[in-house]
């Protein structure tokens, strides 16, 4: 039965558009940070191979894993990667004037203060409440102190590590105290909405950070191989299993949103849809390269085309999964490669741009 959803396509539109606008504004800084290096064909192939190996390893180890040791190692690796990505990208933009730096620090301080106060609510109190409140209040005080420190400094645009360190610190505290140290019986505010905020943030950061190493030639190779690998991994099962592993750990690698208009699933709960950060990254890379090659008009057209294609595929997704489950004996209907949704919208715009 066809089912319309406007929530996920809208978020895809907002994330990709925001990433493209930020990239075009900071393109020189981003390219300088990557020392103007670009992927070659061999690098693209190696990138895809590494992706396959990582996903396969995650799936295999999750089955053979004793005492959740692998999950702990995986979480540590991803937390380190997220934190460094957030710090590195923020550092590129940390050359703020005095007032902007103060407002930024005050903003982070207010968010941390709200998180600390919210931790005192009865539904959020648990054995970790004292540590949770203390940690958030400490970060809030540090941010306000940095804002006061900036007032005494001369107005300059030098990069400031103490500005760049604030978002990673806030992320780590929220993840640790509302996901890892979140005890049963309390209100869960991490999943899905706080997770979605960080998921969207990291999707934008990944697009910004990796876009400079692609060009118009190798993005076609990347798109073809990534779509092919995605189809194989989703239909054979590893990609869905890896997504479930990430979800169980609470890592912000998938954005979950309720279907809008809402409806109840077979279990009687509000139906949700999920889309991985890799698919946001894929759409963002294609959009950025279309902007670079053909300009603003084709760039925006590619974003709209990808979102429309995604929406149409989503409407008939349930019927498609039912059909594939009937004709493919190895397919359990657990998911569908969203790269197909994206690339079928982008290719027509890219071809028109080339022909014109």
Q: Which pTM value belongs to this model?
A: 0.90
CA angle at 302 for the pair 301 and 304, rounded to the nearest 5°? 65
Please tell me what DSSP assigns to residue 121.
S
In angstroms, the CA 21 to CA 295 distance is 12
Residues 72-94: pLDDT tens digits?
Answer: 777 878 888 888 889 988 888 88
In angstroms, the CA 72 to CA 248 distance is 12
3-state helix, strand, coil in the chain (%, to 5): 75, 5, 20
Q: What is the pLDDT of residue 112?
A: 97
In angstroms, the CA 168 to CA 268 distance is 38
In angstroms, the CA 58 to CA 247 distance is 13
Please tell me what DSSP assigns to residue 176.
I
What is 237-274 written as a DSSP string? SHHHHHHHHHHHHT-TTEEEEE-SS--B-TTSSBPEEE
Residues 194-221, mean pLDDT to the nearest whole number: 93
91 vs 329: which has the higher pLDDT? 91
Mean pLDDT of the chain: 87
Q: What is the pLDDT of residue 38?
A: 66
Residues 282-302: pLDDT tens digits?
Answer: 999 999 999 999 999 999 999
pLDDT bin (cut points 50, 70, 90) of residue 137 is: very high
Strands 254-258 and 272-276: antiparallel
Contact 310, 12 (CB under 8 A): yes
């Amino acid at each position: 039965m066809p089912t319309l959803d406007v929530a996920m396509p809208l978020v895809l539109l907002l994330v990709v558009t925001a990433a493209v606008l930020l990239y075009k504004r900071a393109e020189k800084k981003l390219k300088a940070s990557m020392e103007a290096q670009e992927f070659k064909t061999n690098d693209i192939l190696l990138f895809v191979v590494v992706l396959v190996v990582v996903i396969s390893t995650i799936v295999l180890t999750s089955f053979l894993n004793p005492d959740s040791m692998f999950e702990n190692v995986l979480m540590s690796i991803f937390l380190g990667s997220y934190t460094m990505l957030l710090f590195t990208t923020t550092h590129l933009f940390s050359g703020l004037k005095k007032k902007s730096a103060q407002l930024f620090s005050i903003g982070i301080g207010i968010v941390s203060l709200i998180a600390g106060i919210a931790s005192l609510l009865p539904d959020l109190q648990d054995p970790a409440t004292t540590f949770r409140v203390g940690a958030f209040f400490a970060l809030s005080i540090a941010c306000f102190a940095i804002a006061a420190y900036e007032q005494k400094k001369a107005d300059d645009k030098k990069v400031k590590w103490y500005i760049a360190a604030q978002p990673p610190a806030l992320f780590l505290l929220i993840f640790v105290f509302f996901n890892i140290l979140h005890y049963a019986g309390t209100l869960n505010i991490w999943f899905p909405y706080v997770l979605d905020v960080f998921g969207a943030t990291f999707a934008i950061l990944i697009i910004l950070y990796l876009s400079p190493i692609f060009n118009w030639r190798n993005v076609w190779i990347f798109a073809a191989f990534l779509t092919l690998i995605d189809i194989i991994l989703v239909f054979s099962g590893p990609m869905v299993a890896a997504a479930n592993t990430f979800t169980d750990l609470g890592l912000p690698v998938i954005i979950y949103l309720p279907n809008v208009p809402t409806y109840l699933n077979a279990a009687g709960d509000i139906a949700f849809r999920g889309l991985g950060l890799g698919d946001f990254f894929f759409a963002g890379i294609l959009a950025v390269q279309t902007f670079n090659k053909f300009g603003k008009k084709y760039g925006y057209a590619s974003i709209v085309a990808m979102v429309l294609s995604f929406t149409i595929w989503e409407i008939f997704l349930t019927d498609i999964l039912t059909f594939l489950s009937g004709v493919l004996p190895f397919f359990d209907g657990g998911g569908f490669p969203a790269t197909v949704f994206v690339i079928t919208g982008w290719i027509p715009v890219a071809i028109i741009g080339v022909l014109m």
